[in-house]
Every structure is written in structure tokens, then in C-alpha cells.
Homo-oligomer: A and B are copies of this chain.
Amino acid sequence: MNRHQKEKADEASGPGRPTLKTLAFMTGLGVTTVSRALKDAPEIGAETRRRVQLVAKQIGYRPNRAGVRLRTGKTNVISLVLNTEHEIMSFVSDIIYGVSEVIADTPYHLIVTPYSRSQDPLDPIRYLVETGSADGVIISRTQPNDPRARYMLERGIPFATHGRTDMGLIHPYHDFDNYAFAAEAVRHLAGLGRRRLALLAPPVELTYHGHTLAGFADALSEVGASEIPFNTVSIDHSIEQIRMRTAQLMRRESRPDGFISSAAAATLAIVAGIEDAGLKLGRDVDVVSKQSSELLHLFRSELLVVNENFRLAGAELARSVLGWIGGAAPGTLQSLSEPGEVQAYRRPA
């Protein structure tokens, strides 16, 4: 037994997980051949290929991620970048599950990269890109002129945004049609005879703030209703602040008779504020709200809701990033989710 064979035997008898070397020893082939056979390279004989793949499956071979990553630079990691203060709670949970669903039968792992209020949102992105920690990135809280998207485009790292940008640059995104949501909400309220509508919008810096406002404004003039300004707070404000501002607004003579809310948690605060002012939901005022889980109707059956599916969003975003990594054109990886109808509560059977 020469030195070479001894080494191979040592390796194969070791208790650790199998490597290409183990497979090479077992099949009697070279490491290179095994490597190529496993990835269906054309210059490997059909029988050899089948044999190697069979043995690999039998002994449960799994490529070592560190080896692949070191050699090729491919991390097989998707990073989801989240704000630790301002993400909607169900957004975090659902988008993670949506992404997971899609990457489940791929070699990808999902890492969560959080950043806090105090940090520059660009920080985590720079970290990821500079350390080459991920093959693809998903970001939320997208802005019209988003430095993160710009940065990643410059650096050529695949990403997808939840929400659109408006910089004339092309990249994958998934978005909910908030223009349509706001417009539909206005029309629905108008249909109920409401004429003086207030909007609790997303924070100004995010792109969908603009979409929401546009849908709101266009539909207002379409139905001939008017806006009661309510822009001292956004859905990013605390429950207490929204509640207080709502109560203040509702005590004024020129109070709204309809609300549109872009987030479910904020809607709870609006309703509390309305009731603080001694008014009654459904009688004095109607509220249309987006929600991502079916809870608002339990809260107050008078609420009118439109559902936004974050799990779907996560799945779409993951598909987009994987698509881009796989070489698809970024422009073909954009999707917009249309809102369903405004739903009133229906008593269960």
C-alpha cells in the first residue's frame, strides 16, 4: 500500500461526514471526476455519472458549504434586511415564511440582518457586500431614491426590494398596489355616503407613501369627496400618538366621517381615538384598513378591511432574487399585487 492509498483509506474510514475524497475512494475515481459527475458535467461517462450519484445519495453526501464558498465565492445565502423598530410585526413573520417556502428546496440559507433606528440603513448593506456574506439581498422600507438599491446596483449584487423605487433604475421588486388600495377605499367610503375622509398614511420617506396619497387624491376628486388632513402622524408613530391625534381630530367640528389606514396596528389606535372622542364606529365614522392577518374583524366588526399577503410578498421577493442570481434580467422580475375588494364583516354560520 503506497502513501497515496493509505491516505485515502484513512479518510474513508474516518467518522466525519463524507467528502468528495470519501466518494472518490469508494468509487475508485479521482476527486475531480466525482466533483464533475455530481454536477452533470458533459465530459463524464453516463454510467460513471449514475454510479457516483447513486453512491453519493446512499451515503448522504452533502457538499461542504465552506469549501464551495471559499473556492467559488458562492455563499448560498440570502439575506433579509430588517429594521428592528419599524417593521410591521406580521410582516417579519410572514415574509420570513414566504422566503423560506421558496428556498426550501434549494441550497440557500436565509440570514436575517437587522439594523436599528440609530444606524444608517446603508450600514448593513455595506457590511453584506463588503464581506461578501450573501449572494442576494432582500430589503424593505423602500424609498423613491433609495441609496441601498443604488449601492447594490453599483456593486452588482442581486437584490429585490419590497416596494418600488423611482430613480429610473431597473431592479426586481414586489409591491402591493397601494394606489389601488387607497382609491378603492375612498370609493367604498363614498359608497357609504362618507364625504370627509382622513388618511393615515405610511411615513413620507417611503415610496408607497406617494402611491397611497395619489390613489387617495385621485379617487377623492373622482367621487367628489374631500380630504380632512391627518398628516401629523403616520403608521410609524406609536399607538399612543396616533390615538391621541385621532381623538383630537375627532373632537374638532370639521372632523372626518371616514378613515383610511395603511396598517392594522394603527387602525386599533384610530378606533381607540374615535371612541375616546365619544363617537361610534359605523355610525359616526367608517374606517377602511389594510391588514395582513384576519384579526381586525374580531376587533370591531364594523371595520372594513383589505388584505395584504406578506407571505406571498416574501415568496415573490425570494423568487426574484433567485431569478436574478440565476441570470434572469432584473426587469423581468418585478411584480405588483392587486388588492382584493374592501371587505365588511360577515357573521360566521
Q: Which of A219-244 contact B (CB under 8 A)?
A: 239-240, 243-244
Instruction: Verify if A64 is at the interface (C-beta below 8 Å from B).
Output: yes
In the complex, what residues of B have CB within 8 A of residue A44's CB? none
Q: Which of A274-333 contact B (CB under 8 A)?
A: 293-295, 298-299
Our pick among B93, B133, B268, B295 for the contact of A109 (Cβ within 8 Å) is B133
Instruction: Verify if A90 is at the interface (C-beta below 8 Å from B).
Output: yes
In the complex, what residues of B have CB within 8 A of residue A60's CB? 130
Evaluate whether A84 and B112 lie within 8 angstroms (CB atoms) in the complex, with A17-B132, A130-B60, A133-B65 already known: no
Our pick among B90, B96, B132, B298 for the contact of A112 (Cβ within 8 Å) is B96
Q: In whole Å, how far is A118's beta carbon from the nearest beta carbon of chain B?
A: 12
Our pick among B62, B110, B243 for the contact of A111 (Cβ within 8 Å) is B110
This chain's copy number in the assembly: 2
Q: In whole Å, how far is A319's beta carbon from the nearest beta carbon of chain B?
A: 17
Instruction: Verify if A269 is at the interface (C-beta below 8 Å from B).
Output: yes
Instruction: Verify if A271 is at the interface (C-beta below 8 Å from B).
Output: yes
In the complex, what residues of B have CB within 8 A of residue A348's CB? 240, 243-244
B interface footprint on A118-144 (CB within 8 Å = 1, 0 otherwise):
000000000000111100000000000
Instruction: Verify if A100 is at the interface (C-beta below 8 Å from B).
Output: yes
A92 touches B96 (CB 8 A): yes
B interface footprint on A63-84 (CB within 8 Å = 1, 0 otherwise):
0111101100001010000101
B298 touches A239 (CB 8 A): yes
A84 touches B97 (CB 8 A): yes
Q: Which of A248-284 contact B (CB under 8 A)?
A: 265, 268-269, 271-272
How many A residues touch B, CB cutoff 8 Å? 49
Question: Bound state CA distance, A65 and B65, in angstroms?
Answer: 11
B100 touches A93 (CB 8 A): no
Instruction: Verify if A341 is at the interface (C-beta below 8 Å from B).
Output: no
A62 touches B298 (CB 8 A): no
Our pick among B66, B77, B93, B265 for the contact of A70 (Cβ within 8 Å) is B66
Instruction: Verify if A89 is at the interface (C-beta below 8 Å from B).
Output: yes
A114 touches B100 (CB 8 A): yes
Our pick among B64, B92, B97, B298 for the contact of A272 (Cβ within 8 Å) is B298
A293 touches B17 (CB 8 A): no
In the complex, what residues of B have CB within 8 A of residue A299's CB? 268, 299
A112 touches B110 (CB 8 A): yes
Q: Which of chain B's residues has its CB closest to A110's CB? A: B112
Instruction: Verify if A218 is at the interface (C-beta below 8 Å from B).
Output: no
In the complex, what residues of B have CB within 8 A of residue A166's CB? none
Instruction: Verify if A87 is at the interface (C-beta below 8 Å from B).
Output: yes
In the complex, what residues of B have CB within 8 A of residue A70's CB? 64, 66-67, 70
Q: Which residues of A contact B (CB under 8 A)?
A: 17, 60, 62, 64-67, 69-70, 75, 77, 82, 84, 87, 89-90, 92-94, 96-97, 100-101, 104, 109-114, 130-133, 239-240, 243-244, 265, 268-269, 271-272, 293-295, 298-299, 348
Question: What are 6 A-to-B residue pairs whose CB atoms are below 8 Å?
Answer: A62-B130, A65-B69, A92-B93, A111-B111, A268-B299, A269-B298
Give 17 A-B pairs besides A17-B132, A111-B111, A239-B295 with Cβ atoms closer than 8 angstroms.
Answer: A17-B130, A65-B131, A66-B66, A69-B69, A82-B96, A89-B89, A89-B93, A93-B93, A96-B96, A96-B112, A97-B114, A109-B111, A109-B133, A110-B111, A112-B112, A244-B348, A271-B298
